[in-house]
Structure 1
Amino acid sequence: MSIKITNELLKRYADNQCTSEEKIYVELWYNKYTQSKQAKVSDVEKLNSINHQIWTGINQGIHRRPNSRFTFLKAAAAITVLVSISFAIYQFNNDANKHTSIAKSNFVSGKVKAQVMVASNSSIVYGNSDVKSMMSELSGTEEMSITTQIGEEYHAVLTDGSEIWLNANSEIVIPANFNETYRDLKLKKGEAYFKVAKDKTKPFRVFAAKTKIEALGTEFNVNYYSGNKGVKAFLIEGSISVSKKDGQSLVKPNQLYEGDDVTGASSITEVEKPETQYAWKTGYFEYSNTPLNEILEDLSRWYNFSFEISPIYKNKTLTGKIARKQPFSEVLAILEFSGIKYRKEGVHLALIP
């Protein structure tokens, strides 16, 4: 079978829609030209044309209406061929000043790690078995705290069989009397996902600021980062009740509870894309018309950087998904594809007009 290199074929390659045979052929074609020391003007023109077409396609995808199927992952897939083509053009022109490359970054993605402290003794843990055994040794008024730093996450199994996942820059406290009358935990800061073992005789209660969240056997996510007005609780399955001084609310699956610690107000809303509320637990960043400032807050806790945003992006929102294990250079490339300009200085990122 004869395969011709066309703009349409390379666009399919960028969208990861090629057959395995076409994929191999495109890569062989690309290697042939990148290894060549000379190239015809027509080759350069073809590559420039293809490069322009794919960039245009990506920009059109990004600026579609909010329910567009274009995602961060699709853009990330296109990055591979765009970088390859841009690099080939650079080789052919032999002119570094005309070469536009995707910015590299020394920002490092996170890892599975936490600090566990009992009284004045602390230790670094990497697995969940350490926490379960340490909990069984608590006595009296002792408490155990599990803390993740920026760029860390952690999963632990508790003595009752319940599981918790801690997001970056989070802290949870477990008392010695956990699993006696109640199964009480305190989320001091950050975000945690709970998968509660069923036990109707011992309610599972999470305290965060002025809010109490109670469950018997369910899965839910609690967000209490410092940038929030108050506690956010999202229910995946089962049921939870959320209590504050002024009343109690029952939350159903796919509903998000949001409290305001300043005004005392609270609300419950249906979430159209539930996975966006706990994507971090499954290894992704996922957003749906999310304000750019919130996205950068989220990313900065994982990649450990500070940032500032030009007022021009005040109302900017993004929709998409990208794996947390991806290097930050891919995140920067996606921002660039979205029409966002930036300047990177060390571990500081500035979004500029």
Structure 2
Amino acid sequence: MENNAKKLLEKYLSGNCTPEEKAIVEDWYLQLPFKKDAPGYAEIEASQREVFQRLRSSQKVRQLVRLKRVAVAAAVLVCFSIALYYYNHKPQAPALLAKKELKDVLPGRNRAILTLADGSIVDLDQAKNGEIASQNGIIIRKDKDGRLEYIIQDNPTGATGVNVISTPRGGQYQVSLPDGTKVWLNAATSLKYPYSFAKGERLVELNGEAYFEVAKDKSRPFRVKTNSQTVEVLGTHFNINAYVDELMAKTTLLEGAVKVSNETGAVNLRPGEQARLDTRTNRLSLGQNVDTDQEVAWKNDIFAFNNDDLRTVMRQISRWYDIDVVYKGQITTEKFFGEIPRNSNLSDVFKILELNHLNIEIEGKVITIIGN
């Protein structure tokens, strides 16, 4: 069993599989639940037997053979590199890192800076749990899980002032706003909000990416303003990706209803739909039947790629590992599929990229990807 599984994996990676063998491998991974650990021999062989049985249907064979051998085929990237690592029984560091003798780069973590209304700055990573500040009857504290929360102690009517919470590259954070709305901030993101919302509305400003669970309040609509659009809700769960270096700003609705608008028009969303704003033309469009799990995968500590090009993939990796990416030569137009745990060290990502025949050079925190 071990030899069969090992040979099949090695043939796939070298491009020497028959169409039927290739179908077995890709079908296996397209249906395999995401796991952080390498699959065992028994699991591989059992999956093979199951797929062989399904391959008896000629229609199924035709469908599988049409599958393209993509750059990050369903988690093949992570699991194949780790699987062969175990199968060969020769633990060693990735060749790229060993040659350069570089220190591995750790994944991002909970890190953020809080700027208070008076201009004072709090490093939330260094701040101890408990009360951080008090503003006009509102206590700001860091809870035992490292989240930021606001507790209204006295009547804050008439209080004015804004706070800004910012995550660096390689950071993420969660905050509970004064109205009870919960916000998860991805890396390189800032959220500006008043520490006391007005009577008629709740307005916040976002740069970057965040997931919102808005506290219901029919008398005060909740609005999120980005540099190119405004999202209005009453109480709902949604994700906004509005990084300035992305060509598309995306608002994805998971629960409730939202309205996304800018000067060119408006889009009303239902759960499973997405508003897409082309930042080059400033035009809004509607996407339906969206994979919402993929859109919020970052919140669940996963990179999820689905037909993404290399530059899109590397922008996510760059933000999370706080690295810069430079391109030389003709860069591949292959599309990437699959999932990578965000708690992986950068060396694991290098394994994945090298498996897909990408040439990488590293100097300090700058990665150069060299095309053909």
1:310-332 deviation digits (Å, cap 9, x = unpaired): 34225232001011001111111
Which residue among 177, 194, 209 is the counterpart of 1:158? 177
Query: What do residues 53-95 of structure 1 show as CA deviations (whole Å, max 9, x unaligned)?
Result: xxxxxxxx9x9428999423x43233334234556499xxxxx
Letter in 2 for 1:175: P
RMSD: 3.3
Q: CA deviation at 1:299?
A: 0.5
- Asked if the contact 2:358/2:369 (under 8 Å) is kept, the reply is yes
2:78 to 76, 79, 83: 76
Q: CA deviation at 1:180?
A: 2.9
CA contact (8 A) 1:86 1:100 kept: no
Indicate yes or no: 2:223 matched with 1:205.
yes
Alpha carbons of 1:266 and 1:66: their partners in 2 closer, same or farther (altered >3 Å)?
Answer: farther
Checking the alignment, whether the CA contact within 8 Å between 2:148 and 2:174 is kept in structure 1 is no
Q: C-alpha separation between the residues in 2 aligned to 1:185 and 1:279?
A: 23
Per-residue CA distance 1:134-186 (angstroms, 9 max, x = gap): 77797633100000001000011122221100000110001144263212111
Aligned counterpart for 2:3 among listed residues 2, 6, 9: 6
What letter corresponds to residue 123 of structure 2 in structure 1?
I
Pair 259,66 (structure 1): closer, same or farther in 2 beyond 3 Å:
farther
1: CA distance, partners of 2:73 / 2:247? 31
3-state secondary structure, aligned to 2:80: helix
Matched with 1:141 is: 160
Q: Secondary structure at the match of 1:312?
A: coil
- Change beyond 3 A, Cα 1:113–1:289: same
CA positional deviation for 1:212 = 1.2
> Is contact 1:160–1:197 with CA below 8 Å preserved after alignment?
yes
Q: In structure 2, do the counterparts of structure 1 residues 209 and 335 end up closer, same or farther at CA, with 3 Å as the change threshold?
A: same
Aligned: 1:16 with 2:39: yes
Q: Could you say which residue in structure 2 is the equivalent of 1:117?
A: 115
Return the alpha-carbon distance in structure 1 between the equivalents of residues 94 and 300 of structure 2: 34
CA contact (8 A) 2:81 2:355 kept: no
2:273 is the counterpart of 1:279: no
Change (3 A) 1:83 1:67: closer
Q: 1:248 to 1:136 in 2, by over 3 A?
A: farther
Equivalent position amino acid for 1:75 in 2: L
> Which residue of the partner structure matches residue 235 of structure 1?
253
Query: How has the CA–CA distance of structure 1 residues 342 and 69 changed in structure 2, closer, same or farther, with 3 Å as cutoff?
Result: closer
Which runs of structure 2 are paired with 1:31-110 in the superposition (5 Å)?
Answer: 64-65=67-68, 70-72=73-75, 74-84=76-86, 88=90, 101=95, 103=97, 106-110=104-108
Which residue does the alignment assign to 1:42? Answer: none
Question: Secondary structure in 1 aligned to 2:41?
Answer: coil
2-structure distance, mates of 1:100, 1:146: 37
Judged with a 3 Å threshold, the aligned counterparts in structure 2 of structure 1 residues 179 and 321 are, in CA distance, closer, same or farther, namely farther
Q: CA 1:174–1:272 in 2, change beyond 3 Å: closer, same or farther?
A: closer
Measure, in 2, the Cα distance between the counterparts of 1:292 and 1:11. Answer: 27
Aligned mates of 2:124, 2:163 — CA distance in 1: 13
* Cα 1:135/1:111, change in 2 over 3 Å: farther
Scaled by the length of structure 1, the TM-score of the pair is 0.74
Bigger Rg, structure 1 or 2? 1
Task: Map Cα deviations across residues 232-251 of structure 1 (whole Å, 9 max, x no partner).
Answer: 21111211001212332201
Question: Is the 1:235–1:256 Cα contact (8 Å) retained in structure 2?
Answer: yes
Structure 1 residue aligned with 2:48: none
Give the partner amino acid of 2:74.
T
Is 248-257 or 270-279 further displaced after alignment?
A: 270-279
Aligned residues with identical type, % of pairs: 25
Q: Is the 8 A contact 2:171 2:188 kept in 1?
A: yes
The aligned counterpart of 1:318 is 336
Structure 1 residues 180, 83: closer, same or farther in 2, change over 3 A? Answer: same
CA contact 2:161–2:194 (8 Å) conserved in 1 = yes
Distance 1:170 1:346 in 2: 24
The answer to whether the Cα contact below 8 Å between 1:229 and 1:261 also exists between their aligned partners in 2 is: yes
Partner of 1:39: none
Contact 1:148-1:168 within 8 A present in 2 as well: yes
Secondary structure of residue in 2 paired with 1:350? strand
Equivalent residue number for residue 28 of structure 1:
none
The whole-number CA distance in structure 1 between the counterparts of 2:217 and 2:360 is 51
Q: Secondary structure at the match of 1:155?
A: strand
Q: For structure 1, which runs of at least 5 residues remain unmatched after alignment? A: 23-60, 91-98
Scaled by the length of structure 2, the TM-score of the pair is 0.71
Paired residue type of 1:186: E
Q: Which whole-Å CA distance do the structure 1 matches of 2:329 and 2:295 have between them? A: 27
Amino acid at match of 2:95: S
